[in-house]
Amino acid sequence: MAEAEGYRVPEVCRTIGITYRQLDYWARTGLVTPSIREAGGSGTQRLYSFQDLVVLKVIKK
């Protein structure tokens, strides 16, 4: 975990085994939203919780 509060997008993609584009699409369509921090404009990163990672893993299947 890069930050004590959550997982950043590159870590999520590696852990779940999906591409950045797939994760971005799911986030933009509202299928999965980061529970810690959503992107708030240029330069901000979404932060996902461990529970978000579990949900993403289930969705991927």
Architecture of domain 7-60: Orthogonal Bundle (1.10)
> Are the beta carbons of 22 and 57 closer than 8 angstroms?
no
Query: Mind listing the pLDDT tens digit for each residue in 35-57?
Result: 887 766 666 688 999 999 999 99
Taking the C-alpha atoms of residue 18 and residue 3, their distance in angstroms, rounded to an integer, is 21
**Looking only at Cα atoms, what is the longest distance across the chain?**
31
What confidence score (pLDDT) does residue 2 get?
Answer: 47
> Are the beta carbons of 17 and 60 closer than 8 angstroms?
yes
* Residues pairing with 6 in the sheet: 3
What confidence score (pLDDT) does residue 61 get?
Answer: 86
Which of 38 and 8 is assigned the larger pLDDT?
A: 8
At CA 10, angle to CA 33 and CA 51, rounded to 5? 40
Q: Quick one: average pLDDT of 6-21?
A: 94
What confidence score (pLDDT) does residue 45 get?
Answer: 82
Q: What is the pTM of this model?
A: 0.76
